[in-house]
């Protein structure tokens, strides 16, 4: 093969590679380059997208998200470098050269990391209360808030925006019962809320823990869930047994002394899996739970020995 042929082959491979790269739409950035920059013309349609210099944008003081995962921000920044900012942010105009974020602060922070000098945005008119409501509702619907952040966002909508649960359900597109369940999470002890917030405790577990009145017991059960990797069903069983034991102890506390002797003597053959109920008239029942035939045989042997002694 001649040098000329080699050169032609090289050009052909180069053209082929360029063609493949150019045909990959996933490597094309979202192009807002044809959009106007703010200030170039008077805004007529707030549903349109304009480009805003990043130094003219400030964060939202009403942002319901309290923390941003740095690793996730870095990943989003890399995505923006590759594809551009696919979803524009939403801002309100504060002054001639200042815009404040209504929603999209995570995208704004990632765009800063990506080195963008312009950000595509929708510009909306909003009062501070309206802005707060929009920011919270948008975050609840679109961001991956943890359960406690969702609950606190609902609480803010009630306290700061004077929304009822019915109105809030309409705003966020959720059932009122779902909102009420989230709000109940804020009644849990701080430790349980923390474990729920960082993701080592599920909402399902938390809902079951709400059925326990004592905060110390809620915290102890929370530790037990994490330590033993208990399922929600296993937790329910634990709490049911806890309630039964409390009830038995309460009932047992009113028994005459001789009844305790019966529980002690018989219970030792069944690992104390015995309960006794008695009403004020002296009527009642004894319940014995056994784990094997061996326990019954051991108890029967003790009865026989006592009979012949």
Catalytic residues: 105
Partner residues linked to 101 by β-bridges: 91
- Tell me 106's DSSP state: H
Burial level of 212, CB count in 10 A (0-12/13-18/19+)? buried
Nearest to 262 by CA among 240, 284, 236: 284
- How far apart are alpha carbons 124 and 133 in whole angstroms? 13
Which residue shows structure tokens 């709400």?
210
Nearest to 59 by CA among 94, 96, 84, 86: 94
CA-derived radius of gyration, the chain: 33
- And the tokens for 252? 């047992």
Q: What DSSP letter does each residue of 13-71 carry, written as one string?
A: HHHHHHHHHHT-GGGSPP--TTSPBTTSS----TTS-EEEEGGGEE--TT-------HH
Burial level of 16, CB count in 10 A (0-12/13-18/19+)? exposed
């Amino acid at each position: 093969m001649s040098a000329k042929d080699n050169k032609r082959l090289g050009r052909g491979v180069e053209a082929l590679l360029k063609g493949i790269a150019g045909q990959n739409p996933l490597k094309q950035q979202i192009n807002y380059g044809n959009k106007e920059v703010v200030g170039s013309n008077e805004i007529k349609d707030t549903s349109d997208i304009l480009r805003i210099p990043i130094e003219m944008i400030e964060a939202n003081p009403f942002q319901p998200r309290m923390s941003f995962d740095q690793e996730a921000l870095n990943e989003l920044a890399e995505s923006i470098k590759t594809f551009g900012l696919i979803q524009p942010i939403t801002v309100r105009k504060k002054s001639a050269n200042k815009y404040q974020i209504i929603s999209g602060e995570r995208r704004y922070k990632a765009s800063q990391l990506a080195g963008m000098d312009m950000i595509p945005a929708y510009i909306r008119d909003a009062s501070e209360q309206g802005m707060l409501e929009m920011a919270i509702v948008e975050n609840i619907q679109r961001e991956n808030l943890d359960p406690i952040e969702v609950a606190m966002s609902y609480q803010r909508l009630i306290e700061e925006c004077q929304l009822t649960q019915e109105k809030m359900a309409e705003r966020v597109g959720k059932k009122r019962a779902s909102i009420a369940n989230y709000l109940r999470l804020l009644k849990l002890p701080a430790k349980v809320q923390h474990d729920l917030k960082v993701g080592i405790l599920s909402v399902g577990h938390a809902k079951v823990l709400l059925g326990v009145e004592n905060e110390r017991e809620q915290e102890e059960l929370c530790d037990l869930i994490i330590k033993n990797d208990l399922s929600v069903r296993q937790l329910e069983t634990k709490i049911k047994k806890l309630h039964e034991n409390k009830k038995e102890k309460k009932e047992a506390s009113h028994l005459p002394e001789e009844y305790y002797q019966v529980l002690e003597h018989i219970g030792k053959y069944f690992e104390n899996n015995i309960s006794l109920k008695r009403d004020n008239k002296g009527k009642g029942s004894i319940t014995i739970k056994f784990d094997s035939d061996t326990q019954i045989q051991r108890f029967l042997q003790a009865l026989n020995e006592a009979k012949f002694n």
